[in-house]
Structure 1
Amino acid sequence: MEDYNQNNINQYSQNPDNNNNRDSYEYNKPEYSFWAEKVSGPPVYDYVQYQHNPRPEQVSKKKNRIGRIFAFLFKAAVFGIIAGVAFVGVSYLYYRLNPDAFANNESYILGSTDDESFSENKLKVGNTKHGSVKNIPESSVMKVAEETMPSIVSITSISTSRDIWFGVEYPREGSGSGIIVGKDEKELLIATNNHVVDGTDKITVTFIDDSQAEAVIKGTDSMADLAVITVNLEDIEQSTIDAIKIAKLGNSDNIKVGEMAIAIGNAMGYGQSLTVGYVSAKDRKIDISDNGRYTTMVLLQTDAAINPGNSGGALLNINGEVIGINTVKFADYKVEGMGYAIPISRAIPIINDLMSREVLKPEEQGFLGVGPQDVTEEISEMFGIPIGVYISTVVEGSAADKAGLKVGDVIQYINDTEITSGIQLRELISSIRAGTDIEVVYMRHVNGEYKRQTVTVTLGSREDNQ
């Protein structure tokens, strides 16, 4: 707790009558508490002067009882006479003022219902009709949960860890979530976070009906923290295929701060759960640490609870559309309700690219033949180099060498995919089969300035350059 008295010692004016107690009061100001409200100072006693009040003489109980009975009867009789006179008087005045009322057999209180045509305009008294209560069987959030949970999966991963002291390897289990984003004739495609499946030996997917199937990684993008895994349709029961759905992807660019947000995922590895909050902010730049390496990501912020295991799950709007992929939570005991998700509009192009990748053996993977160095925003501002991947070395006789790429060039795009790190470049090239032509957009320093250039490169294989 902060000490609020530290900077406010002289905020009270001096009182010459209390000079002896001033210093003690200034350094021991009272704090509000329940006990302070109950006990404040020495006890004060109130003294009341005693007066002798003589008791009245007692009257016979029998005499008082008879008097009260006669008084009650007299009051009742008077009330009845007054009420009768008032009723007769009001009736007399009504018929004097409305001579036709007696002929129409009309009552001045409710009116007559003998004549139907006349009584339609009169006040009628009858039984109330049976009403109907409209029951709402489900709320909007319940409807979203019912429609979208079949498109969310739980992911369990097994990876191998090594003991730092004894070097013993042991299996380690992790949990995450995924979103079903596509299906073709052979496989089911699931989007998740890269950190959920990175370095795993085995991936198991649990569907809405609790059935399980093994999955393999189809493509990853570590910089975007996105991955696509696939499940062979032959490994899925027909009842499960009928139960699952493909998620509806929305547009995160159109959402507004304050809109309701619904997070669904495998929180703490216990299975699917749902939390509700709001979109707290858009386009938040967050520096995320991954094994000592910091990456800047532009994310959606929400106060919907995002816990371990929610990573890779869906952040939805009230229409049941995916607006983000849950990825990280700000973990600090001072902070509550700051979760982040990858905007789906930014993720869709990357997911589409990952979905189209082949699962290749090492000898089938493409090889470019460059030594990459990341050019971040800070480095770009400091040295005036365009953001991208700086080529520090070129392997002689490699695909890059044959295409004319040189040391000092900065690669920015591969087949319309923006390249921002060497890891991303390596993952992308490894996902393309050797012998495939790719389009490389790069910046070259010419006559004191960087100019944009494009070249077509035919990828080789790593075996060709060993």
Structure 2
Amino acid sequence: MDNQYNYYDPEQNTDSYNYQNTGDNQFHSGGPEQAPHQRPRKKTPAWVKAVCCGLAFGLVAGASFQAVNVVGNKLFGTEEKTQGSVKQTSTSSDTKLTTSSGSTVSANIAEISENAMPSIVSITNMSVEEVQSFFGGIQERQSESAGSGIIIGQNDSELLIATNNHVVEGNDTLTVTFIDEESVEANVKGTNAAQDLAVVAVNLDDIKESTMDQIAVATMGDSDKLKVGEPAIAIGNALGYGQSVTTGIISAKERTMEGHEGNLLQTDAAINPGNSGGALLNANGEVIGINTAKVAADTVEGMGYAIPISDASETITNLMNQETRTKVPADEQGYIGILSEADVSADLAEMYNMPTGVYVSEVVKGGGADKAGIEEGSIITAINGTSVDGMQTLQEQLQYYRVGETVTLTVAAPGDGGKYKTTDVEVTLGESAE
């Protein structure tokens, strides 16, 4: 029997997802089958039966207990370990990730999850999107989407949380909810669209003392040392219903996915919409990956993906040390002074040996880009160290900068032999040409 259910919740507005329930449930009634006739045996004295049963039970129980211990030790280890305190962090000028000491924890999944939960948060993204009305016009409506995040440290004034770029992109407001159900507004600290990574910040002054006592900084593991078949535990805000736990194994390493830069871990631990940005843990309770995507198809079972933490750590460290900015009013927003008719997607970049980013079709005369010497045919790949994979991403970043501010654009220009040369260019933002 193959039953399929499609589900969409407009209030959550998470990614589209399908539930597939494939099973064959059978129920049997009646007693055991009649045993065939057997020749009568010689009667054994009762005291002999009792002694034999006692010996057999002792041998079987002892062997079973020893086998369980051996399997448990091999899979998970036996020593216990607790999460680090959120208050043991470095300063804002050199914030670093908390890494593992190499010790192991109990094999109890419940205990591992309990220790990790204080370092996992839910993230709500409120945005405004344009939709076509019933009469054919365009109208704006408020949209809400759910995701997850991992507490990775704090500086002098902020609590820092790692998540996916697609969890926070296009936001008007971001809200972080902690383990005690307390919610606080957050700001984007930095994003990397190509790797689908982001860091958001919450002001420490906005967090209650009681909440600070309950939350913790996650401990990072080493995803480079993972082996296929190792246990994996996924924690996140699945479907926006709150934190939940799923388990599985590391199914494969070094997987690739269209539109994502770098390799991914594959796991059969259930990764559902809302899990994005949450933690994939090893048997020591250490973060080995940031959950990012799943394959949603009727013919696919148990194929979820996570960004390996060892690959992401350098990018996350750079993002968590960037300056936190807040959006400026639309009439005060600065403009670069370019026109772009096309983005260089990952597919085009591979096909034509070009970097991904914003293709400059035209430079507005007298604008910031023109004065900085940016030419047509160039490709903008980053702004102030934050990568951009298209015009939408660049425009989202420009919402944080006013007219007259200076930004550093990373620009790739075509050179000899068709090769692109990358340079950093300072551009003073001007007013819109419209």
For residue 270 of structure 1, report the CA deviation from its aligned partner.
2.7
Give 1:307's aligned residue. Answer: 272
Q: Are 1:304 and 1:339, in contact at CA under 8 Å, matched by a contact in 2?
A: yes
Q: How far apart, CA to CA, are the structure 2 residues paired with 1:180 and 1:234?
A: 16
User: One-letter code of the match for 2:112?
Assistant: V
Q: Does 1:440 align with 2:407?
A: no
Among 105, 116, 129, the alignment partner of 1:148 is 116
Alignment of 1:331-350 (within 5 A): 331-350=296-315
Q: Does 1:325 align with 2:290?
A: yes
Give 2:62's aligned residue. Answer: none
Give 1:395's aligned residue. Answer: 364
Q: How far apart, CA to CA, are the structure 2 residues paired with 1:277 and 1:271?
A: 20
Alignment of 1:120-135 (within 5 A): none
Q: CA RMSD in A?
A: 3.6
Task: Render the CA deviation track for 1:425-453: whole Å, top value 9, x for unaligned.
Answer: 4444555665335263523234x533525
Among 357, 373, 383, the alignment partner of 1:404 is 373
Q: Are 1:179 and 1:313, in contact at CA under 8 Å, matched by a contact in 2?
A: yes
Give 1:117's aligned residue. Answer: none
* Cα distance change on mapping 1:423 and 1:298 into 2, 3 Å: farther
Give 1:361's aligned residue. Answer: 328
Q: How far apart, CA to CA, are the structure 2 residues paired with 1:169 and 1:367?
A: 24
Q: How far apart, CA to CA, are the structure 1 residues paired with 2:171 and 2:425?
A: 34
Among 251, 260, 263, the alignment partner of 1:280 is 251
SS at match of 1:287: coil
Q: Are 1:300 and 1:343, in contact at CA under 8 Å, matched by a contact in 2?
A: yes
For residue 240 of structure 1, report the CA deviation from its aligned partner.
0.8
Identity %: 50
Q: How far apart, CA to CA, are the structure 2 residues paired with 1:157 and 1:378?
A: 29
* Cα distance change on mapping 1:319 and 1:173 into 2, 3 Å: same
For residue 385 of structure 1, report the CA deviation from its aligned partner.
4.5
User: One-letter code of the match for 1:348?
Assistant: S
Q: How far apart, CA to CA, are the structure 2 residues paired with 1:349 and 1:423?
A: 25
Q: Does 1:461 align with 2:426?
A: no
SS at match of 1:323: strand
* Cα distance change on mapping 1:375 and 1:215 into 2, 3 Å: closer
SS at match of 1:396: coil
Q: How far apart, CA to CA, are the structure 1 residues paired with 2:286 and 2:193?
A: 25
For residue 404 of structure 1, report the CA deviation from its aligned partner.
1.6
Give 2:89's aligned residue. Answer: none
* Cα distance change on mapping 1:376 and 1:141 into 2, 3 Å: same
Q: How far apart, CA to CA, are the structure 2 residues paired with 1:360 and 1:411?
A: 21
User: One-letter code of the match for 1:232?
Assistant: N
Task: Render the CA deviation track for 1:192-219: whole Å, top value 9, x for unaligned.
Answer: 2233334444433221122222334444
* Cα distance change on mapping 1:417 and 1:165 into 2, 3 Å: closer
* Cα distance change on mapping 1:196 and 1:416 into 2, 3 Å: closer
SS at match of 2:258: strand
- How many matched pairs? 328
Structure label with greater radius of gyration? 1
Q: How far apart, CA to CA, are the structure 2 residues paired with 1:199 and 1:449?
A: 34
Give 1:234's aligned residue. Answer: 205
Give 2:83's aligned residue. Answer: none
Alignment of 1:60-139 (within 5 A): 138-139=106-107
* Cα distance change on mapping 1:312 and 1:444 into 2, 3 Å: same
Give 1:316's aligned residue. Answer: 281
User: One-letter code of the match for 1:192?
Assistant: T
Q: How far apart, CA to CA, are the structure 1 residues paired with 2:173 and 2:394?
A: 25
Give 1:197's aligned residue. Answer: 168
Q: What residue ranges of structure 1 are gaps of 5+ in the alignment?
A: 2-33, 35-132, 289-294
Task: Render the CA deviation track for 1:220-249: whole Å, top value 9, x for unaligned.
Answer: 444443333332222221111021112223
Among 211, 214, 232, the alignment partner of 1:243 is 214
Q: How far apart, CA to CA, are the structure 2 residues paired with 1:400 and 1:152?
A: 41
Q: Are 1:218 and 1:228, in contact at CA under 8 Å, matched by a contact in 2?
A: yes
Q: Are 1:160 and 1:170, in contact at CA under 8 Å, matched by a contact in 2?
A: yes
